[in-house]
Structure 1
């Protein structure tokens, strides 16, 4: 059975390689200038969302004309960031998988907020990842397979104060029934030994970050 996938293009750092992540049948959401980026790369977003305060009125007119559907909100009187609004719309599609690109960048507050949104997908039993040129970020509350995607390192960081029962298979530095607490660096810079590794935990929420320098 094919996965139902949603790909969100947000307004952070965007690169042409992200277009290659799109597969036939994907539901594509452009958040704010992420929608304009898609259109400029000849991709028609199924949905464009946001306040569109980072693009010009003429560019917004272009987004309206070239998007399957558009949801606009006031740039001042709103409670969600454009990316969170896109994420909420993605969850409504009830997909198996959500990929967020353009969700990281110079604004650390936005980046951290977007990483924390991984927990919302987990609560809805939706697999989710944030990808940029140097990182592939996922979250688990139980177990996860980590595939070799060409990144050099795999790091584990607790999202909750404590993560217990951490067991690793297929890594250079194995762990068995280990505990990680926030602020500890034990899980940093591990390396896959095989095409796929396995991470399982007993309690807590664990970020799994594949990265390059």
Structure 2
């Protein structure tokens, strides 16, 4: 099972959701994200959040269209997106993709990136997707990537203070057993030159970003 979460970020940053509306996907609408889902003709599994970014008329319409809406208080310890991610993790999915999590308030955007760490702890692949980027968090291991014209650039950023044993093969800028730390940009804006490339590291946690021009 795959879960797609749509948060209430700026709609211009959200890609065409129809291309992700697969048979085995369950959709979760977060606050105004539920409105985005419904207006795209997608049937949501659940709506979550305090819904403080929609009008009373919009909320009433959504309640008619979505059978399960859980309205939380505005004053709470978790953000709406964290509530949605916790609910999604409790369903034991194989993959979680999050849309509408970038381009709005910077504090929420940065927190959404940090929420990816929950995937590391639960060993579930979580990915943030917008109209230009795909972002995920990686634990130590070896990863293979095919070259694609859609996402030309790939960057590896340290989430922990240090990331050790970095090796890049098949990339424009290869590395062997290298180390990066906070404040270094060595592994930003790389490109895969061959049909595929491999990235590996032995210690730390990495944020990986695939980007379009």
CA spacing shift, 1:196–1:182, aligned 2, 3 Å:
same
Task: Provide Cα deviations, 1:132-165, integer angstroms capped at 9, x if missing partner.
Answer: 1111101111233334451121111000000001
User: Using the alignment, how far apart are the partners of 1:24 and 1:104 within structure 2?
Assistant: 26
CA spacing shift, 1:108–1:85, aligned 2, 3 Å:
same
Q: 2:169 maps to which residue?
A: 169
Q: 2:8 maps to which residue?
A: 11
CA spacing shift, 1:148–1:85, aligned 2, 3 Å:
farther
CA spacing shift, 1:34–1:202, aligned 2, 3 Å:
same
CA spacing shift, 1:113–1:148, aligned 2, 3 Å:
farther
User: Using the alignment, how far apart are the partners of 2:80 and 2:195 within structure 1?
Assistant: 36
Gaps of 5+ in 1: none
Pairwise CA distance, 1:196: 3.6
Q: Is the 8 A contact 2:17 2:40 kept in 1?
A: no
CA spacing shift, 1:55–1:148, aligned 2, 3 Å:
farther
Alignment RMSD? 1.4
User: Using the alignment, how far apart are the partners of 2:107 and 2:99 within structure 1?
Assistant: 16
Query: Which runs of structure 2 are paired with 1:1-213 in the superposition (5 Å)?
Result: 4-14=1-11, 15=14, 17-75=16-74, 77-143=75-141, 144-148=143-147, 150-213=150-213
Pairwise CA distance, 1:94: 0.6
Gaps of 5+ in 2: none
CA spacing shift, 1:195–1:111, aligned 2, 3 Å:
farther
Q: Is the 8 A contact 2:117 2:137 kept in 1?
A: yes
Q: TM-score, normalised by structure 2?
A: 0.93
Q: Is the 8 A contact 1:166 1:178 kept in 2?
A: yes
Q: TM-score, normalised by structure 1?
A: 0.93
The SS at the match of 2:16 is helix
